[in-house]
């Protein structure tokens, strides 16, 4: 659940509520930032966005405030808004926190995950994509996110889940970039399947170890790919 809807009241209505103007603007801008359609460092204007979405400045301002809480944009006095830059320092900090949270979540999940949840994880582990097709790439990244959050959910610790959700969301741009620049289908599938097997073995020590190893491998793969890409200039040290 994203920041714009996480605290929305539950009315109990059976019909799906139509998104508000703020939620619509937020969702579109968030997608464009995460897929790097809006490049890191790009300037954003309330007036330009209001004209683009054909809305007043109020929903745009509210959407930008939510994106700022997500860590996806930054604000500057008398200058406005800017898509948050991508740096290796940011990536390292995010992976440090993510590794701590995910290794703990996996350890807890070994004694709490159900067989049905293991079956769902095994299905998510089969996700593949074609790097030239944006829709397929978005689906792949979505499945990767769902896979990791499903493990966090299986820990049965809501606070841990919420914290990890935030870290994964902030790292999503890196995943899009990495998956675009190189084919990560096979290595992701193999590692995810191994994680499912370890969780099914109900061994907490192995679960912690494999999640640390998986995060370290993902981090190193992303850093190497981005650093060696001659046509990519959006990441700084």
Same domain, 119 and 197: yes
The vertex-62 CA angle with 59 and 63, nearest 5°, equals: 85
The dihedral sign for the CA sequence 142, 96, 104, 200: positive
Segment 150-189, tens digit of pLDDT:
999 999 999 999 999 989 988 888 888 888 888 888 889 9
Domain for residue 66, yes or no?
A: yes
The angle that helices 158-181 and 88-109 make with each other, rounded to 10 degrees, is: 130
Total domains present in the chain: 2
Segment 3-58, tens digit of pLDDT:
444 444 444 445 678 899 999 999 999 989 988 889 888 999 999 999 999 999 99
| More confident position, 39 or 230 | 39
Of 192, 178, 184, nearest to 223 by C-alpha is 178
DSSP secondary-structure letter at 44? E
Q: What is the mean pLDDT of residues 95-123?
A: 97
| More confident position, 211 or 17 | 211
Q: Provide the residue range defining the domain that includes 70.
A: 21-85
CATH number assigned to the domain comprising residue 172:
1.20.120.530
Same domain, 165 and 63: no
* pTM of the predicted protein model: 0.79
CATH number assigned to the domain comprising residue 75:
1.10.10.10
| More confident position, 234 or 71 | 71
> Residue 234 pLDDT more than 70?
no
Tokens of 12: 């109990």
Alpha helices in 155-203 (DSSP H): 158-181, 185-201
């Amino acid at each position: 659940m994203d920041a714009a809807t996480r605290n929305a009241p539950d009315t109990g209505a059976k019909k799906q509520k139509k998104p508000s103007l703020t939620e619509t603007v937020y969702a579109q801008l968030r997608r464009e930032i995460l897929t790097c359609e809006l490049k890191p460092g790009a300037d954003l204007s309330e007036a330009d966005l209001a004209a683009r979405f054909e809305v007043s400045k109020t929903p745009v301002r509210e959407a930008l405030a939510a994106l700022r809480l997500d860590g996806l944009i930054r604000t500057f006095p008398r200058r406005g808004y800017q898509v948050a830059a991508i740096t290796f320092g940011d990536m390292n900090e995010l992976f440090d926190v993510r590794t701590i949270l995910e290794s703990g979540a996996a350890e807890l999940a070994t004694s709490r995950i159900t067989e049905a949840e293991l079956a769902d994880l095994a299905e998510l582990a089969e996700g593949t994509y074609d790097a030239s097709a944006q829709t397929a790439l978005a689906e792949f990244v979505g499945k990767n996110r769902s896979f990791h959050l499903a493990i966090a959910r299986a820990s049965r610790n809501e606070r841990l889940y919420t914290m990890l959700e935030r870290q994964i969301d902030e790292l999503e741009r890196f995943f899009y970039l990495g998956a675009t620049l190189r084919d990560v289908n096979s290595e992701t599938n193999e590692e995810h399947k191994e994680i499912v097997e370890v969780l099914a073995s109900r061994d907490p020590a192995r679960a912690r170890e494999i999640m640390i190893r998986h995060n370290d491998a993902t981090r190193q793969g992303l850093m190497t790919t981005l650093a060696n890409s001659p046509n990519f200039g959006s990441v700084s040290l």
